[in-house]
Every structure is written in structure tokens, then in C-alpha cells.
Amino acid sequence: MLEFPLIDTHLHVWDPRLLRYPWLDDIPLLNKPYLLEDYDRACAEVAVEKMVFLQAEVDFSQFQEEADWVDSLADQDSRLQGIVPWAPLELGDSARPALEKLASNPRIKGLRRIIQFEPDIEFCLRPDFVTGLQLLPQYGLSFDICIHHPQMANTIKMVAQCPDVQFILDHIGKPDIKNGLMDPWRAEIKTLSEFPNVWCKISGLVTEADHQHWTREQLKPYIDHVIDCFGFDRVIYGGDWPVAYQATEYPRWVETLAWALEGSSQAELKKLFHDNAAAFYRLNGND
């Protein structure tokens, strides 16, 4: 295990008694409250120094309520230093009022408008959506890219139109680990890594594998390739709790990633598990 506390850049909490999360209806394991005290129990022996909350696909009409609720949780737990809510970027310039309100909260560091679930493969290339993305630097906000691997080619085209936006790719682009597919994901990740404003979050791999039968050996080629492409300066750890709980206990994921990185220096490990997170999300002391 690690010799230092980590920063978790991909934490979800939700309470279906307070807000509506339609996607939970089909996943009984997750369709209940998952709160910070549950996260603490799940982490067990893993020491977590700071956390970043990622929007949990609340009903879109409640995105501001979700951000406000998580902000109230951060008032109670000083480790929760970053919030990445949803916002209607597809409105283009008309998204400004929502962006202004969100950006007025110093805990809000970036946005995530999930692309993965959009049936239109070219959603991320719609002019209004690209315009919405291009507004983000004006508000000091980054963007978390959440896609499924067939959307990677268009994601590259999207990023090319937004050179001033700080991007981070969630879950390494969700390759098909379950079936052992590497291509064309392998080449596309390499292309994406050539944009200096794109970072990569090593998170969510277990849920792209066979939930019940995955092995660390199956994950390692994907982890190795991401490190080869982005280097240790632009990769960041994410726990993806409780979504990842469908496939792993929290400590097992940390142990798996640490195992895959055996032979790395302590300085490299600290970048991936701690320092890069503080830099990208501008956490306390890194504004």
C-alpha cells in the first residue's frame, strides 16, 4: 500500500431521498444513499487526505441543488475540497447564467456534462456544445470528459477546437476491458495525449472489466499504456466510489493500481496519487 495519504479525484455521494437519480432505478446495489460516512467505512485502511466530488447524473433539472447539497457536506468535512457539477453546456452562450452561478462557489473547480449516454455519436461536436466548452476558461473551470471508447475519435476532434480548456479524461476513456480490446482505443489515447491541455484519470477500470472475475493482470496493459502516453505529470488517481463498488472493494482498487505501478519511484507515485490532483483541481494551497 502507499506510504502517504492520497487525493481521491472521483468521489460520488448521493441520497435518492433528497434528489432524483433516474439511472439508479436499474441498479439495486447502488439505489440507496451513499454518504461520506459510508465512504469512510469503504476506504478502510486507505488514508484519504482530500476528495473531489464528481456530479452523479442527478435529474438535470436538479443540477444546482446537487451542487448546493454537496457544498453543504463540504462544510462538514474539510477534506471535500473540490466539486465538479453538471451544467447545460449544450446551450452554448446561453449557459452563461448557470456557469456564473456555479463559478461563484470557490469549491467548484470544473464541470462534467456526460457525453457517454448521448445516442448521437456527434453530440460532442455540436456547435453549441463546443461553444459552451469554450466558455469555461472565462470562469476558471476545467472539464471532465466522460465517454465510452467508441466516442473517442469525436472527442479528439472536440478537444482540438478547445485549446484553452483544461480537460481531464475520466476512466481512461472506458475501453472494453471485459473483452480485452485494445484497438482503436490504444492509438486514440496516444493521439489525445498529444494535446498538452488534456490529463487522464486512472479510475473506473474495474467496472469496464468483468465485475465478478476481473484480475489485476487484465488491467495492467491499459494502465501501462496510459502512463506511457501521458507520463507521470498528467495522470491522476480516482476511486470512482461507489460506482466501482459493483466490482471491487475500495482498498483492492488502490492495491491493484499500486501493484501495476511497481518499479515506479516514490516521486512518481506521489504525483499520480496526490500531487497532480491538487494541481489540476486547484485544491487548497493550489489556487
Q: What is the pLDDT of residues 11-68, one digit of tens each?
A: 999 999 999 999 999 999 999 999 999 999 999 999 999 999 999 999 999 999 999 9
Q: Please give the order of strands across the beta sheet that includes 167-169.
A: 110-111, 142-145, 167-169, 198-202, 235-237
pLDDT bracket for residue 287 (50, 70, 90): very low
- Look at the domain 6-280 and name its fold: TIM Barrel (3.20.20)
Half-sphere exposure (Cβ direction) of 157: Cα atoms closer than 13 Å = 11
d(CA 205, CA 223): 9
Q: For CA atoms 40, 44, 47, 51, give the dihedral sign.
A: negative
CA distances 260 to 156, 222, 241, Å, are 27, 10, 20
CA distances 286 to 6, 76, 90, 109, Å, are 16, 21, 30, 11
Across all residues in the chain, what is the average pLDDT? 97
CB atoms near residue 187 (< 10 Å): 12
pLDDT reading at 192 higher than 80: yes
The whole-model pTM stands at 0.97
pLDDT reading at 107 higher than 60: yes
pLDDT bracket for residue 149 (50, 70, 90): very high
Q: Are 247 and 207 in contact (CB under 8 A)?
A: yes
pLDDT bracket for residue 284 (50, 70, 90): confident
- Average pLDDT in the 236-260 region? 98
Omega within 30 of 0 (cis) for the link into 127: no
Q: Which helix (H) or strand (E) holds 84?
A: strand 80-84
Residues in Cβ contact with 252 at an 8 Å cutoff, skipping those fewer than 6 apart: none
